[in-house]
Amino acid sequence: MAQDEQDQAGLSAEREAAESETGEQPLARVRYGLGKELLLYPDSFVLLRREEAEADRINLASVKRLILTPGDPNPSKLILMFDLDDGNTIIAAEGMTSVGEFRALLAKLRDIAPHIELDPPDMDTQLKQALDIRRRSLIGCYGAVLGLCALLWIIYLAVAFFGAHFG
């Protein structure tokens, strides 16, 4: 428990250091993976990786397009890439699952940088659909587990009944 408190204190100290470096609070924050964050500031994106103790800053003016693709082995883990003006493409986030936080980031991004293209163009709608699909699949998984438990309980009752009367 003490290690968790030390880790949290270290994470908050790193966040404060990143915020004091710019002198402002981020407009939006997307947490993904272990100790990784995507921060949106009025003039830039900051890709914060706590494990490597690194932070990359990308100016919004140099971002031409924001690309979001499903992950290869697991489509619910999204990959976010930036197409830059100089022709380079940067992978910003791999394995991002915090769709709700990312949708909030997109809303802020449209307000402060309308020049950035979204690929796919209806990214917000697709993210909403991804949330619905994930919610439905979880409900299906929980339903299957509950159904299996009910079936096992019925089998147990049948075995107990027949064992008591015919055994």
Q: Which long-range contacts (CB under 8 A, 24 or more apart) does 56-60 make?
A: 56/90, 58/82, 58/84, 58/90, 58/92, 60/112, 60/113, 60/116
Alpha-carbon span 13 to 35, nearest angstrom: 13
Regions of the chain with pLDDT less than 50: 1-2, 7, 9-11, 13-15, 17-18, 20
By C-alpha distance, which of 94, 84, 154, 112 is closest to 27? 112
Residue in the structure block whose two tokens are 């470096």: 21
pLDDT confidence of residue 20: 44
Give CA separation, 116 vs 61, 104, 124, in Å.
Answer: 9, 16, 14
When the candidates are 3.40.50.150, 2.60.320.10, 3.20.20.70, 2.30.29.30, the CATH number that belongs to 2-118 is 2.30.29.30
